[in-house]
Chain A
Amino acid sequence: MNNNGTTFLKMNNVNVFYDSIQALKNISLEVAKSEFVVLIGANGAGKSTLLKSILNIQAPKGSIKFKGKELTKLHTDKIVANGISIIPEGHLIFNSMSVLENLQLGTYHGKKKEQSIENIFGYFPILRERKEQTAGTLSGGEQQMLSIGRGLLSDPELILVDEPSLGLAPKIVNDIFDILVKLNNVGYTILLSEQNAKKSLEIADRAYVLETGNIVMEGQADDLLNDEEIKDAYLGGSI
């Protein structure tokens, strides 16, 4: 759990409210450096809200520390500058702008801008071919690649990935998961929110299970894969 004495990401008693509805209840969670952690749970369990609270897109109450620094009072852009990026649900990009412009916007907080974009083209050669194309005309899978590529360009250490498989064909989903594993292998820390519990538990180190805004279970991904309760609740349908 420790990296030079301080925890990498630590959420302590975090609550999030949408007006009067409480979406997250006393969430405490930790992610170590270079770990691959997955949040599983049904639609509406609060997985997306949890990721958004880390970036202060949904204002959190409680404490969220990244490398010892308190995030809850920072604006989103400052949190991104501190080394966290989000790859949002529904591969959100700027549809009217070109692929290259989307990547250039991604480099706003990054350092070696040109070189980094070249690296992304290395990961996703299709993006190089389409760099002058309007991002809105890409296929769903290509948009997801652009979204991931863009997310890497702010030089993050921690990447929050929100439901990357949503709306994509199974073949593409496999590709995207392979990419996430590769990114984790080269040192990126990943916190993934995913409804596809089986697939994500297979690639993650650890997992948290969310139900109606609460963490109801946590543990090693392998253990959860073999847990009877988890099997019944989350794996039964998706195997």
Chain B
Amino acid sequence: MHILEEAFRARGKLMEFFIAQVLNGLSLGSIYVLLVTGFNLMLLVAKIIQFAYPQFVVISMYATWAVLRATNNVILAILVTIVVSIFLNLLSEPIFRRITSIKGTDINATFVASIGLSMVLVEIMSHSLNQGFPISFSDNWVGGSVFRYGIINISRSSIFAWVGGIIVVVAFFYLLYRTMVGRLFRAIAENRHVAKLFGIPIFKTSMMSYLIAGLLGGFIALLLSMLIGTASPWLGESVALKVLAVSIVAGLGNLKGGLFVGLALGVVESVAIGYVAGSWSNVIAFVIMLIVILAKPKGLFGAAVE
């Protein structure tokens, strides 16, 4: 039995402990939801598998940290983070466009390229940023506890992750279903050929998807830096694997499915951390996802792309 579980069982606080883990999981899940949403958007519209997307989020976290350290100006840090994230995503567009324009390549080529890009970014970060040491954010940025009931402790950053997650998701789906840009996104996602026949500008719309994913990435960087209070050059890759897994388990490119599976992964991971040794939580999460994929190869909610 896990030592924490044992301790709380002894004090009759098992339920409280479980609730605490679920709440933590929901904050982490919000982050996964936002990540998989940006990832799926580029998959659907730009037709790329952007494995390096979480790396851009991590670099943006470094930007947040650098601005806070240099100026201690929160507004400036938020703005710079978002701008850096958008900039990185837009900057990657010509690379992917070049790869997809080569005759005979398909979406898998973008996957391989983005894995390569991800490795390069890890190397650059581990050599050039903070001499490769992990960074940690100030207590002011992370914030303290705002609510405590027994062992249930709700931090400011958790509330930011929940509320921020909900606001961003609602805004994103509003954009997707109620605006012309959203219709263009869905049109290209459904059928690129028909979109072309309609006279829809494929390139411009694709660029818009990078921009929106970049904007999302900026929010993610801010929320994640508050939630975990730290970042390292290796954070992005473990996150990227999970984002990819969430997208596949939900059904590749299935935006609504991603919401559910993203949240579920956060909760499963967090609860697993509570009951077994931390390093096993990844294994448990991935084994569950493996079982789901074996049972439903097109994902729980059906793949939106082939």
Q: Footprint of B on A, CB under 8 Å? A: 55, 57, 75-77, 79-81, 85-86, 88, 92-97, 101, 104-106, 108-109, 150, 154
Contact = CB atoms under 8 A, between A and B. Distances in A.
Given A101-B183, A104-B183, A108-B180, A94 B194 contact: yes
A95 B199 contact: no
Contact of A57 (B180, B196, B203): B196
B184 interface: yes
A97 B183 CA distance: 9
30 contacts: A75-B202, A75-B203, A76-B197, A76-B199, A77-B201, A77-B202, A77-B204, A80-B198, A86-B197, A88-B194, A88-B197, A92-B191, A92-B197, A93-B194, A94-B186, A94-B187, A94-B191, A94-B194, A95-B190, A96-B190, A97-B190, A101-B183, A104-B183, A105-B183, A105-B184, A105-B187, A108-B180, A108-B198, A108-B199, A109-B199
How many of chain B's residues touch chain A, expressed as a range?
10 to 19
Give chain B's interface secondary structure class.
Answer: helix
Given A104-B183, A105-B183, A108-B184, A75 B201 contact: yes
B257 to A, nearest CB: 15
Given A57-B196, A76-B196, A108-B180, A97 B201 contact: no
B199 A85 contact: yes
A74 to B, nearest CB: 11
B200 interface: yes
Enumerate the 3 nearest inter-chain pairs by beta-carbon distance, A residue then B residue, closest first.
A80-B199, A77-B201, A92-B194
B166 to A, nearest CB: 25
Nearest to A52: B197
Report which residue of B190, B191, B197 has the largest number of chain A beta carbons within 10 angstroms of its beta carbon: B197
Interface string B193-224: 11011111111100000000000000000000
A106 B197 CA distance: 10
A108 B187 CA distance: 12
Contacts of A101: 183
Given A97-B186, A105-B187, A154 B199 contact: yes
User: By CB atoms of chain A within 10 A, which of B186, B191, B198 has the most?
Assistant: B198
Interface string B159-203: 000000000000000000000100110110011011011111111
Contacts of A94: 186-187, 190-191, 194
Given A95-B190, A105-B184, A77 B200 contact: yes
B174 to A, nearest CB: 15
A86 B197 CA distance: 7
B240 to A, nearest CB: 29
Contacts of A95: 190
Given A92-B194, A94-B191, A77 B183 contact: no
Nearest to A104: B183
Nearest to A156: B199
A139 B198 CA distance: 20
Given A75-B203, A97-B183, A105 B198 contact: yes
A93 B183 CA distance: 13
A81 B199 contact: yes
Given A77-B199, A85-B199, A106-B198, 13 more contacts: A55-B197, A76-B197, A77-B200, A86-B197, A94-B187, A96-B190, A97-B187, A101-B183, A104-B183, A105-B187, A108-B180, A108-B198, A154-B198
B270 to A, nearest CB: 35
A150 B191 CA distance: 16
